[in-house]
Structure 1
Amino acid sequence: MITDKKIHRAFGVYGIYTDGNKILVINKNRGPYINRYDLPGGSLEDGESLTVALKREFLEETGFEVKVDINLGIADFMLPWAWNECEFVHHIAAYYLVEVIRGDIKKPHQFEGQDSLGALWLSEEEANINNASPLVLKAFRWLKESVFDPDVEVYNDWEIRM
């Protein structure tokens, strides 16, 4: 546990959509996971429910309209990130399994706050700590083991890839 640092707490909703042994991911262009693959999803806007936020974020970041199947659980991650006078981020993530209703992968519309450069398919063999967020790595563990470990994961040596 990190107790001697100023910590920014961030909460978001994230969807896992699979095709065989691959997960649909986005290429992040900002935040602590910049220049890494991350799960589609993000923060709630005022008045949004968890599933409405997930559907909006998924569509904005990937081009897919989704149906939310099941809440897999909540996970949290702590890692160094100098932002807004904070030294660490405590990222709390609600994971959902989703199905695509319609759409195609398309380059997302860029607007203030958009943090996706586009979506692509990623296999577990291609994912590692140097190119993927902790959220993606946990999603692959869930797919492989069918177990969702709720314990916090602390990445003291996390590198921001500018």
Structure 2
Amino acid sequence: MDRFTHMGVYGLVAWEQKVLLVHKARGAYMGKWDLPGGRLEFGEQPETALHREIEEETGLSNLQLVIRSAESNVLKWMYEGEPEELHHIGILYDVYLTSESRPYEIKREPDGEDSLGAQWFTMEEVSALSLTPFAQHMINNSIVSGADGNSFE
């Protein structure tokens, strides 16, 4: 069995008591809902990579990032008919919209790469979704705040 390590950056974006998730188009988490984010390019700083990935997958820019933690998990999956073991490491951020961000204008269509589109979900809606481990971790360990200052777990 082939074994690989993948490191990426991922962010929990919250707005009006909703979280922004992307529907995975490929890879070990195909069909699941994930945090916006992805792989760092060679030599790229993690925050630069996360800004780039969020803009590519969701269309959002002008964001504030606050690092929360680094997590990892190991999963087994089939890649092109062959078993593969993946050690997935994620640098995880809380992402805040600024006054210049445009949350109504997210990309809801596939990006031609890794995302089938982005969507805002309430916490009630999230409970019915199949989430990636990093999305599950961040959401389970968060208080999502709305623009009105209210928050919920």
How far apart are the structure 2 equivalents of 1:82 and 1:24? 28
Counterpart in the other structure of 1:87: 84
Partner of 2:111: 110
CA shift for structure 1 position 81: 1.6
Q: Give RMSD over aligned pairs.
A: 2.4
SS in 1 for 2:61: strand
- Does the CA contact (< 8 Å) of 2:33 and 2:129 recur in 1? no
- The yes-or-no answer on 1:141 pairing with 2:140 is yes
* Contact 2:60-2:106 within 8 A present in 1 as well: yes
Gaps of 5+ in 1: 145-162
1:130-160 Cα offsets, whole Å, 9 max, x none, are 621111111111115xxxxxxxxxxxxxxxx
Q: CA deviation at 1:28?
A: 0.8
SS in 1 for 2:142: helix
For residue 23 of structure 2, what is the aligned residue in structure 1? 27
Superposed CA offset, 1:106-138 (max 9, x none) = 245734xx1011111123333358621111111
Q: Is the contact between residue 66 and residue 102 of structure 1 (CA under 8 Å) also seen in structure 2?
A: yes
Q: Is the 8 A contact 1:15 1:98 kept in 2?
A: yes
Aligned equivalent of 1:15: 11
Q: Distance in 1 between matches of 2:53 and 2:66?
A: 17
Give the aligned partner of residue 67 of structure 1.
63
Comparing 98-107 with 22-31, greater Cα deviation is found at 98-107
2:95 alignment counterpart: 98
Classify the secondary structure of the residue corresponding to 1:55: helix
- Normalising by structure 2, we get a TM-score of 0.79
Residue of structure 2 in register with 1:151 after alignment: none
Identity %: 34
Question: In 1, distance between residues paired with 2:130 and 2:46?
Answer: 27
Residues 108 and 81 (structure 1), Cα distance of their counterparts in 2 relative to 1, 3 Å cut: same
Cα displacement (A) at 1:78: 1.2
